[in-house]
Amino acid sequence: MSRKKFTRIPYDLVGSRETGAVAVVEVPEGLSPSDVARNVMKRHPHVKSVLKKEGAREGDFRIRPFSLIAGSEDTEVIHKEYGYKLKLDPRYVYFSPREATERQFIAEQVKDGEFVLVMFAGVGPYAIAIAKAKKAEVVGIELNPIATRYFQENVLLNKIGYKVFPIEGDVAFVTPALYGHFDRVVMPLPKGAYLFIPYAIRALKKEGGVIHFYYWGGQDAFRRAEGMFQAEAMKIGWGAASTGFRIVSSYSPRIYKIRVDFLIKPTDIK
Ligand X SMILES: C[S@@+](CC[C@H](N)C(=O)[O-])C[C@H]1O[C@@H](n2cnc3c(N)ncnc32)[C@H](O)[C@@H]1O
Q: Which residues bind ligand X (CB under 6 A)?
A: 60-62, 94-95, 99, 120-122, 125-126, 141-144, 147, 170-172, 188-189
The CA–CA distances, whole Å, from 125 to 13, 142, 187, 206, 269 equal 16, 12, 13, 28, 32
Which one, 143 or 210, has the nearer CB to ligand X? 143
The residue at minimum Cβ distance from ligand X is 122
Which one, 6 or 105, has the nearer CB to ligand X? 105
What is the rounded CA–CA span in Å between residue 130 and residue 260? 18
Which one, 90 or 239, has the nearer CB to ligand X? 90
The CA–CA distances, whole Å, from 220 to 10, 105, 247, 270 equal 29, 24, 13, 21
CB of 179 to ligand X, least distance (A): 16
Backbone angles phi, psi at 67, to 5 degrees: -125, 145
Which one, 126 or 256, has the nearer CB to ligand X? 126
Which one, 28 or 251, has the nearer CB to ligand X? 251
CB of 87 to ligand X, least distance (A): 13
CB of 141 to ligand X, least distance (A): 5
Largest Cα–Cα separation, the chain: 64
CB of 60 to ligand X, least distance (A): 5
CB of 196 to ligand X, least distance (A): 7
CB of 8 to ligand X, least distance (A): 27
Which one, 69 or 107, has the nearer CB to ligand X? 107
